[in-house]
Structure 1
Amino acid sequence: MSSPFLPVIPPRLDLGMVAIAAGVHPDLVRRFYELGLVPARADGSGRLWFAPDAPEQVRRVVRLHADLSLNYAAIALVVDLLGRIDVLEGRRSVIRSGKETPPWR
């Protein structure tokens, strides 16, 4: 019998949960955190807590490193630029919908 409840994504994931979801070793996730590639917060005991989208971020870093042979400094730049593109595309869609006027008008 199936449960009537929808699966719930926890508001935060620990290091092990991120590693399992991303399919990598926890040491690699920790290394990405230390390099600033995947953000996390440490609690009072030093345990790292990640956002629910962290496994996706880890997989993106792994893909960029493996497929494009980018070093981790270049990956940080690419990830930052991709984030900026997402923001700009979101603003463009809002402007196109007519809910906001462009700043140049």
Structure 2
Amino acid sequence: MTDRPTGAAGTARSGTGNRPDQPVAHAATAPTTTRYALVPVPGLSLEAVARRSRLHPDMVRRFVALGLVDAERDAVGRLVFDRDAPAVLARIQRLRSGLCLNYASIGLVLDLLDRISLLETALRGRGTRSDTPPWT
């Protein structure tokens, strides 16, 4: 079997006789293994996120500008959000109303909460438990 040139996604280039959307088996892999191009999962639009979080779209745009919520731009320039954006916005609203924090403080608290979550996950993954309670 000869190794055909492939593009970045592992599909055959158009000049090889194969259709660009067909997978190509590589000589370095098992004959039954094929590589497929990843299909991007569509995100949520600004309007969908605003409706689900019960916020005005301008407020959602402000949160994106402040860096509190991650968003990307599509080919047209519209904001596209991850599926978890409404949950992040709900967390921001709870911190703002419950603790009376300003938006700079909310950004810091969100970063710390994410860091704590990563550390707890790492501890659970190690599977070690101490009989003594933590000192904090």
- When normalised by structure 2's length, the TM-score is 0.62
Larger Rg: 2
> Does structure 1 residue 25 correspond to structure 2 residue 56?
yes
Q: Does 1:72 align with 2:114?
A: no
Give the corresponding residue for 1:40.
Answer: 71
Q: Is 1:91 aligned to 2:122, yes or no?
A: yes
The residue number in structure 1 matching 2:83 is 52
Q: Which runs of 5+ in 2 are unaligned?
A: 1-40, 129-136
Displacement after TM superposition at 1:44 (Å): 2.5
Deviations 1:53-90 (A, max 9, x none): 00000111111111111000000000000001111111
SS in 2 for 1:41: strand
Which SS does the other structure have where 1:49 is aligned? strand
Runs of 4 or more off by more than 3 Å in structure 1?
none
- Structure 1, gaps ≥5 residues long: 1-9, 98-105
Higher helix content, 1 or 2: 1
Aligned to 2:47: 16
| Residues matched between the structures, number | 88
Q: Aligned-pair distance for 1:26?
A: 1.0
Task: Provide the rounded CA distance (Å) in 2 between the counterparts of 1:65 and 1:27.
Answer: 17
Instruction: Give percent identity, aligned residues only.
Output: 49
Which structure has more relative contact order (CA 8 Å, sep 6+)? It is 1
